[in-house]
Structure 1
Amino acid sequence: MSTSQRRRQANEQRASGQLACDAATAHPGLLVSALDNGSLDVGGAGEVLVQAVPYVGMGRADAFARLTSEILAARGPQLPFVSRATATTSTAGDAGLHIQRRIVGAETVEFGGCDPQVAAHVIGNLNVGNDRALMTDAITAVLPWIGYRRTLNALRAIDQGTTGPAEL
């Protein structure tokens, strides 16, 4: 990997980390610096957002999308965007997972979240009379805002919590 590729990857990872931990105040400075020194281009800035949304959810990514849009708009139009597609329909799933692991880290893709807290919420919901269907509907409804990772973790906790006794 070349030095410029390493710098680009490092800046994508920094931006993803800021997005994941909701560090919106630090994001503009990093983005402007990376764009100015050429270690991140407009497409890369957008790619960070596109790849992160499924994991952190639109609720967290929204502020970063707005900040990124403001910064890019202030720099002037850079249209049309050149396609950066490197995958086909048949390879997109594996290629996307590879990129997501590279950008946000394999640990974030494979694990993460607040599993003990989610399990406690499932038990609490069962104890007040809410059933599996109601909890599944609620989690599915908020999927765009909490992201796939948290949704899958919650659904797993619902599955585990509804197959046994509802107690801690």
Structure 2
Amino acid sequence: MYPGALLGCQGMGEFQNMLHAALNIGVDPVAIKETIYQATAYLEIGRTCDFLIAANGIMEQHGVRLPLAPQASTNEETRFERGLAKQVELFGPDMAKRQTDGPALRRNINRWLADNCFGDYYTRNGLNGQEREMITFCFFLAQGGCENQLRGHTAGNFGVGNGKEKLYSVVEQCMPYIGYPRSLNAMSIIDEIAAKEK
């Protein structure tokens, strides 16, 4: 959780401190790197590149041999199909309709969302579906101003088995890094989506 929140709020100093601690207690370097890679789709490369460079340096200090084993499971030919399947799995069949029935001006970005965000990242090994959805929730939670996406990924978390109690716990763990206003906003969204799920 903490890397997603610290990436989202751009807390580089604390990210570095916590990464040393995480590696000292045996957190899998692959999981850490996968979190950073996935952040690129949600935070953009300009805000994630420095975190990747810092993580590589810290991992080398801890004796982690880089590069790590590749985790990609798609290629240029399969990324769209598998990414769209992942979107449908997480958010329902309406995701497929966005490719054909959505506004013409949005079709490019809808396709990029399927093949890049979901095909390139969500299909990777190293983190499971529950972990990826929880981390994505943390990205939106921490950066603020992304309430619509936080709603969508709250529902996505519910769909993969990260229920209301789990997400409340995630918010509580992230609160020292993101503050009370964003924490309270997230809890309101969790309540809102939980009420719709009933």
The structure having more radius of gyration, on CA atoms, is 1
More helix by share: 2
TM-score, with structure 1 as normaliser: 0.48
